[in-house]
Structures are given as C-alpha cells and as structure tokens.
Amino acid sequence: ILSCSFSTSVMSNAIKNVTVVGAGLMGSGIAQVAAQAGNSVTLVEVNDAALQTGLGRIKTSLQKLTKKMSKEEGEKLLDSTLSRIKGSSKVEDSVGQSDLVIEAIVENMDVKHKLFTAVDKAAPPSAILASNTSSLSITEMASVTNRKNKFVGLHFFNPVPLMKLLEIIKTVDTSDETYNAVEEWGKAIGKVTIVCKDTPGFVVNRLLVPLLAEAMRMYERGDASPRDIDTAMKLGAGYPMGPFELADYVGHDTTKFIIDGWHKKFPENPLFKPVGALNKLVDEGKLGVKTGEGFYNYKKGK
C-alpha cells in the first residue's frame, strides 16, 4: 500500500543513465542501489585509488546482501549489478550520456560549486542535476548552473542500501517535470520518497540535530546522565536509539559541522546554538563509534 503511486506513466523510465560523483560512504551506496535497479551507472572519483576503494565497498555490501540467497542467485545479482557500474576519474567525460547526475562529494559549498559548474557545461541540457548534501542550501548550490529548473536535492540516508527513506528537496525553481522524474526514479530504486522545501536540514536532520543538541545541553546542566536520557527516550518515546547513542554513531565532527554552519547562517535561532559538550569531545578527538570513544567508550574491554 505504501508504494502505491499515482504518478502518470509519461515519465516512466525517464532516468536510465546515472552518474554518481563521489564514491565515499554515500556515493558508493547510491551507485549500488541505482545499478541494482537496472540503471547504467558511472561512478566518479578524484583518482583511481579512491575509485577502487568505492567499488570495493559496493562489492562488500553486495556480498552481505547475497548471503541470504542461493549461490547461483547471489552470483547473478553481484555480477549483473557490478557490470552496470563503470568508473571514471574525469567528471567532464562521465556525464555526456547522463539523465541524472548525483553529487555526493565533500560537504563544502565552494568545492560543490566548482563541480556543478563543470557538470553543467558537460552534461546534456536534458540532464537533471542533484545533490545529496545533508546541510547546505540546494538553491545556493544550483545558483552556479544554467538549469535551476533541473536542479533538485536527493538526500539519502546511511547505509543507503538499507535505509528506505529518500528526501526530495524541491527549490522554488525546481520544475514539476524534474520533481516527477526524480520521484518516479526514487520509487524505482526501492525508496519511499518525501518532499520538502529547501530549508536547513530538510525534515530529518532539522528535527534530529536540535534533539541531539538539546539532549547534550540537558546533560551539561546536570539534569540527567547520557545513559538515563538514552534509556528515557528509548523506553518512554519508543526511539530505537537514545540521542547519545545516535550522536556517537553519527560522529561528533559531523554534528558539530552542521550546527556551526547553521549557527553562522542563522545566529538568532536558539536551536542552532553551539554546544559546549559537543565542542569539547571534538577538541579531544573523541568523535564517537568511529574513534572508539564519544559519550560512551567502545574500546574493547571498557
């Protein structure tokens, strides 16, 4: 019932060739789900070593997925998916046939502007351009292109092959035709889509980041411990992870980067005010699960 769609068949299969720029955590996942759904995918990285790392990540992820299948079925899925992904280290040469170009590179507006200037010049006029940014303005990103009506935010969640949600960010310039095409594509690759205006953090992060910050402020005030706040939110609000567990999982550098960026842009908003406990952890290099310590300690034996 959830996947019931009322869109017309006019846009059906409009997007077949997809270029994903950036083969990191998110880009490799996006390339994988697109290829699994039958798209021809070109994956672009800064150099061959980074590309191979990204392709390796896709292979590992597919191998996990195929574990539950028969050997024959698993091999078929692995081979057919990988055969639809080709790599490139030159963005200009990789977008000529693209229906959709998705950017998943470093979270920096200047670097993204440089990329989209090049992509806009090299991609066919019909191609839709999209960013997977978590915290930057889609409108500002699109401003360097000559196709603001064909620019949209496509915000995936980590890990991409497992997380069902796709936030589609429609700016005031995004055309209905563009929106309909990416919505249909989102469903075709197995995601549940929602639409949101171009606002800081879109839906999920706009609610989640202030929640994490407020939990940390609560701890700073000495109102309750991280452990008790997590237990309270899991058992009292039905959250699968408490705010401190989630913040440790996301990485404190990422959360700090997002809050600092929003605070700079919207200094009056109390939800975006810097958080001392968060800044301290980042200063100490305690970034959460990935460094072995954050609010909790993940090192063996502790």
Catalytic positions, written as ranges: 134, 155, 167, 205
Other CB atoms within a 10 A radius of the CB of residue 205 amount to 20
Measure the N-to-C terminal CA separation of the chain; round to a whole number of Å.
46
Does 50 engage in binding with ligand NAI (CB under 6 A)?
yes
Helix axes 204-220, 252-265, angle to 10 degrees: 100
As separate numbers, helices (DSSP H) first and strands (DSSP E) second, the chain gives 11, 8
Q: Which of 7, 12, 25, 235 binds ligand NAI (CB under 6 A)?
A: 25
Alpha carbons 160 and 27: distance in angstroms, whole number: 9
Does 45 engage in binding with ligand NAI (CB under 6 A)?
yes
Number of residues that bind ligand NAI (CB under 6 A): 25
Alpha carbon distances (Å) from 228 to 157, 235, 242, 243, 296: 27, 10, 9, 11, 13
Q: Which of 15, 37, 44, 62 binds ligand NAI (CB under 6 A)?
A: 44
Does residue 18 sit in helix, strand or coil?
strand
Q: Nearest approach, Cβ of 131 to ligand NAI (angstroms)? A: 7
Does 43 engage in binding with ligand NAI (CB under 6 A)?
no
Alpha carbon distances (Å) from 224 to 210, 218, 247, 255, 286: 18, 7, 17, 21, 21
Q: Nearest approach, Cβ of 83 to ligand NAI (angstroms)? A: 22
Q: Nearest approach, Cβ of 107 to ligand NAI (angstroms)? A: 4
Q: Which stretch binds ligand NAI (CB under 6 A): 16-24, 174-182, 210-218, 291-299?
A: 16-24
Does 23 engage in binding with ligand NAI (CB under 6 A)?
yes
Does 117 engage in binding with ligand NAI (CB under 6 A)?
no
Alpha carbons 76 and 219: distance in angstroms, whole number: 51
Q: Which of 101, 102, 115, 181 binds ligand NAI (CB under 6 A)?
A: 115
Q: Nearest approach, Cβ of 6 to ligand NAI (angstroms)? A: 28
Alpha carbons 33 and 13: distance in angstroms, whole number: 16
Q: Which of 18, 20, 26, 216 binds ligand NAI (CB under 6 A)?
A: 26
Token pair 């919505």 in the structure block, residue: 183
102's enclosing H/E stretch is strand 100-103
Q: Which stretch binds ligand NAI (CB under 6 A): 99-107, 139-147, 182-190, 292-300?
A: 99-107
Q: Nearest approach, Cβ of 26 to ligand NAI (angstroms)? A: 3
Does 132 engage in binding with ligand NAI (CB under 6 A)?
yes
Contacting residues toward ligand NAI, per CB under 6 A: 21-27, 44-46, 50, 91, 104-107, 111, 115, 132-134, 155-158
